[in-house]
Amino acid sequence: MLSEPPRKRPHPDVFSNIVPTASKKRLHLDPTDRGGNEYKNKPISQWKYMDVVNFFMDGWISNLDCNFSDISGVEGPELARLPREKFRQLSSKHGDKLFKEVQRRVMLERENELKKKKKRTGRLWEFIRNLLFNPETCPSMVKWENAEEGLFRFIDGEKVAKRWGDRKQNKDMNYEKLSRAMSGVTTGQSNLHYRGICGRELPA
């Protein structure tokens, strides 16, 4: 008598053990969909819960040992604040790697924000140049002593410092701090007098 052929086991629902505290309907999970790479194009501060889930799954699905029930509802900003030990609890195999990747993304986002801020606020030499060519601030705040030689001086250094501080969103900015910063962009200074700005032809 021939034995019965073995029955095929149904394809396992890989999501049933990933988020045991939340239903698939609420999370809109599709067992046949292994996509969800949108998180890669977002800063971590904008990640929603499903971005966090996709981040954990991406690259680790074959050896997944993460306990997603412990981070149910966690979004990007909260994930970024989790300590290394918490990642090790979430995944004994990949906790350290996940932690390092999250911190790498956090640092990248901070660097991009700083670049955007610098682009918005401009550089100090550009700020001074604009004051010198603005009738509202020259000669009331700054004044040319010799435009051909690039020699100028501050008439009201504190007002200039306050305006620069407002632009940089630095309430603690004062003339003393501005003066130190000016030493890095001018070719010479004496009291309130400055000469040139990094060799640039200001009067042009």
Express each pLDDT in 147-203 by its tens digit. 888 888 899 999 999 999 998 888 999 999 898 888 766 666 655 667 765 444 444
What pTM did the predictor assign? 0.45
Beta pairing, strands 186-190 & 142-146? unpaired
Q: What is the pLDDT of residues 9-40, one digit of tens each?
A: 443 333 333 333 333 333 344 434 444 688 88
Mean pLDDT calculated for residue range 96-125: 82
Mean pLDDT calculated for residue range 84-98: 86
Whether the ω angle into residue 139 lies within 30 degrees of 0, i.e. cis, is yes
Q: What is the pLDDT of residues 38-72, one digit of tens each?
A: 888 899 999 999 898 888 877 554 455 666 677 78
Say how far apart CA 203 and CA 192 lie, in whole Å: 19
Say how far apart CA 141 and CA 154 lie, in whole Å: 6
Q: Are 200 and 187 a contacting pair, CB within 8 Å? A: no
Q: What is the largest CA-CA distance in the chain?
A: 111
Say how far apart CA 104 and CA 174 lie, in whole Å: 35
CB atoms within 10 A of CB 179: 17
Using DSSP, state whether 69 is helix, strand or coil: helix
Burial class, 138, CB count within 10 angstroms (exposed 0-12 / middle 13-18 / buried 19+): middle
Using DSSP, state whether 8 is helix, strand or coil: coil
